[in-house]
A and B are shown apart, each in its own frame.
Chain A
């Protein structure tokens, strides 16, 4: 499989009143053509910042990509000029935002907003652009596209608006689609429809998807692989199966236990105690150590080494170390 995106050692910081927030601290991720990668984690863990960095949408200042590289089809996004980045945005990489109620400009018609990307990047006539936009609206399941094109966003329901946002993102036939919490603001029934739409589109166009969410239910439905982020780091990655059935990091396990599941009745929900660390001055060792039920002394002192459990399953945790396993065996 072709590697379409390769993020290496990405560091992103934000300057604020109180100092520098290290929102992303050495993230490594890769994405293959046609697959769906879900990035999960609590709010503030750096998943959105990572996604925005890919398209260079981090507001600078206060934000800054400090270190690392983002290779999109072999081209380092962090090294491109603004103009070169604009040629990739909307054409090769598209993005969908969390709240469809605010992602559309209230003062412009839907048709105008749909076609402006096309007309910016492809030299085509208004008529041709309109035609493609209407085809796209039909694809995402909006009836009467001819009339709908002339309407303003407030004349659509939330679910409809998210379909329009998706149509807008797909109109230039991108190779990578980044969806930042695309279903969080929607009703549960609408959520399911939107997820189905993603799957349908992926089948038709072969687009690769990065899905950012804190909702493991969404992940379980459509992700091929999952990356778990905590305090600006990716702490565990694996296929959907590996993460759901053999999670290795205590945080991943905690995350799974704190989600209600319909298939396992009667199981207790266990919240993770405490709050994520302050990223003004991140702790030296594992950032989860303070909340971790299995923390060892080493966890508070040194960041865990990287362990590879299978070709696809990776985890950063000291429990993988032989010595930890030895002590565990002797205590229990």
Chain B
């Protein structure tokens, strides 16, 4: 070995004071103090999410959208479905900020009303998926063996069903309404969540802390609630964030096909569909506002989901 030259140059051998060579009192705290101050899982995730500018702008957009969905229709002087035929197809102006449609209805008001519908459908779908998926996947993964096998066969078959076809079929039968849309979306939507939860549970199942609680006689339900779920929250949150845009897309898609929310209520998909009829006339605002808000909302949820995925991934923790 060659002596590390640099350090030796800085401090000549003889210049070190003799008393530095007295044995030190052993201090156990010293050994531990070397460790970096550790942040909690959530603090750390939040810190890393904040560094992701794209995800943060998505979050801010969604907050603003949520606020406007609540107060937008209220601050507008116009009603959602008040028809005003002399005022039809007007370009954006001081009275109608986003213009009017072919029945003279105010596009500004209808846009925020559509935001309500989209956000409601998206969040409800994510929530219901969450409850069903966690219950099903948690049970399947935790019980294991035969139960798991049968439950997973069922999932595999459900997974093979074409999602939107089933939804369309259900809507044809049940008739279009907000409630039926949400029901139809969640009938098959929870499968992905259940799979993720099961995978997580299987991974964690044999961890020491679960065995420890089992040996203390803890009940299955309690083990799932107290031990397993907190550890699986990361992937679940990400999945929920990504379910929302899927549901928003599905609602818009169905409304566009005429199977979604019905007039006089407004939904972005329906507004886009209505705009298709006047596409040749150059009334750009009819298409622009619903198209922009559907895309921007889905974009915001997607980048937020991506950001959360990176932020919550324990492998990427540093």
Q: A residues engaging B (CB < 8 A)?
A: 8-9, 16-18, 26, 28-29, 234, 237, 273-278, 280, 283, 290-291, 293-299, 301-303, 305-306, 308, 314, 316, 318, 321, 323-324, 326-328, 331
**Chain B residues close to A by CB (< 8 Å):** 1-5, 7-8, 11, 13, 16, 18-24, 26, 28, 30-36, 48, 51, 318
A275 to B28, CA, bound (A): 12
CB within 8 Å for A298 and B20 given contacts A8-B2, A16-B318: yes
* Given A16-B318, A273-B31, A291-B31, A306 and B4 contact (CB-CB distance below 8 Å): yes
Set A17, A274, A280: member contacting B31, Cβ < 8 A: A274
A interface SS class: mixed
Determine which of B3, B4, B11, B31 lies in contact with A290 in the assembled complex, contact meaning CB atoms within 8 Å: B31
Closest to A227 in B: B1
Interface residue from A280, A290, A296 paired with B21 (Cβ < 8 Å): A296
Query: Do residues A290 and B33 form an inter-chain contact, with CB atoms below 8 A?
Result: yes
Given contacts A293-B26, A327-B22, contact A277 B1 (CB under 8 A): no
List of A residues within 8 angstroms of B5 by Cβ? 9
- Do B31 and A297 have beta carbons less than 8 Å apart? no
Docked-complex contact A328 and B23, CB < 8 angstroms: yes
Decide: A297 and B24 in contact? CB cutoff 8 A: yes
Task: Specify which of B1, B23, B51 is in contact with A294 (CB 8 Å cutoff).
Answer: B23
A121 to chain B, nearest CB (A): 34
How many angstroms from the CA of A75 to the CA of B124 in the assembled complex?
66
B7 in contact with A296 (CB, 8 Å): no
Contacts of A295 in B (CB 8 A): 23-24, 26
> Which chain B residues border A290 with CB–CB below 8 Å?
30-31, 33-34
CB neighbours (8 Å) of B8 from chain A are 305
Closest residue on chain A to residue B4 by CB atoms: A26
Question: B18: which A residues are within 8 A, CB to CB?
Answer: 323
Min CB distance B65 to A, Å, is: 30
User: Of A9, A276, A278, A331, which contacts B2 at CB under 8 A?
Assistant: A9
Q: Determine which of A275, A293, A305, A327 lies in contact with B35 in the assembled complex, contact meaning CB atoms within 8 Å.
A: A275
CB distance from A302 to the nearest CB of B (A): 5
How many angstroms from the CA of A237 to the CA of B22 in the assembled complex? 26
4 additional contacts, CB 8 Å, given A17-B318, A296-B23, A321-B21?
A: A290-B34, A295-B23, A305-B3, A308-B1
CB proximity of B135 to chain A, nearest CB, Å: 35
Q: Contact check, B21 vs A275: say whether CB atoms are below 8 A apart.
A: no
**Chain B's nearest CB lies how many Å from the CB of A43?**
16
25 sample A-B contacts, Cβ–Cβ < 8 Å, listed by A number: A9-B4, A17-B51, A234-B1, A273-B31, A274-B30, A274-B31, A276-B34, A278-B34, A278-B36, A280-B36, A290-B33, A290-B34, A291-B31, A293-B26, A296-B22, A296-B23, A298-B21, A302-B11, A305-B8, A306-B1, A314-B1, A321-B21, A323-B21, A324-B21, A327-B23
Bound-state CA distance A97–B19 (Å) is 47
Minimum distance in angstroms from A101 CB to a CB of chain B: 18
In the assembled complex, how far is the CB of residue A276 from the closest CB belonging to chain B, in whole angstroms?
8
Chain B contacts for A18, CB-based, 8 A: 318
- Chain A min CB distance to B312 (Å): 15
Listed from nearest, the 6 A-B pairs whose CB atoms lie closest are A274-B31, A306-B3, A298-B20, A314-B1, A297-B20, A323-B21
Bound complex: CA A148 to CA B84 (Å): 82
Name B48's closest neighbour in chain A (CB-CB): A17
Write the chain B residue with the least CB distance to A272. Answer: B31
> Are A28's CB and B2's CB within 8 A?
yes
Q: B16 to A298, Cβ gap below 8 A?
A: yes
Chain A residues with CB under 8 Å of B19's CB are 297
The distance in angstroms between the C-alpha atoms of A17 and B4, with both chains bound, is 29
Collect the chain A residues with CB atoms within 8 Å of residue B21's CB.
Answer: 296-298, 318, 321, 323-324, 326-327
B285 CB to closest chain A CB (Å) equals: 44
CB of A296 within 8 A of CB of B2, answer no
Contacts of B22 in A (CB 8 A): 296-297, 327
A302: nearest residue on chain B (CB-CB)?
Answer: B11
Q: Which residue of A lies closest to B30 (CB)?
A: A290
Asked if A303 contacts B31 (CB within 8 A), the reply is: no
B35: A residues at CB distance < 8 A: 275, 278
> With a CB–CB cut-off of 8 A, which chain A residues contact B34?
274-278, 283, 290-291
User: Could you say which residues of chain A place their CB within 8 Å of the CB of B33?
Assistant: 290
Query: Which residues of B sit under 8 angstroms from A8, Cβ to Cβ?
Result: 2
User: B13 near A305 (CB under 8 angstroms)?
Assistant: yes
- What is the CB-to-nearest-CB distance from B43 to chain A, in angstroms, rounded to a whole number? 14
Min CB gap A47→B, angstroms: 15
Q: Which residues in A have their C-beta under 8 angstroms from that of B318?
A: 16-18
Known: A18-B318, A296-B20. A273 touches B4 (CB 8 A): no
Residue of A18, A28, A302, A318 ringed by the most chain B CB atoms within 10 A? A302
> How far, in angstroms, from A290 to B32 measured CA to CA in the complex?
8
Do B1 and A331 have beta carbons less than 8 Å apart? no
Q: Within 8 Å CB of B11, what residues of A?
A: 302
Residues on the B chain within 8 Å of A275, using CB: 31-32, 34-35
In the complex, the chain A residue whose C-beta lies closest to that of B26 is: A293
Q: A274 to chain B: which residues have CB within 8 Å?
A: 30-32, 34
The interface residues of chain A lying within 8 Å CB-to-CB of B20 are: 296-298, 301
CA distance A283 to B31 in the complex (A): 12
Closest-by-CB residue of B relative to A280 is B36
Q: A28-B2, A274-B31, A297-B21 are in contact. Are A303 and B16 (CB under 8 A)?
A: no
Distance in angstroms between the alpha carbons of A283 and B19 in the assembled complex: 21
Contacts of A324 in B (CB 8 A): 21
Distance (Å) between the CB of A78 and the closest chain B CB? 16
- Please pick, from A9, A314, A321, A331, the residue contacting B23 in the complex, using a CB distance under 8 A: A331
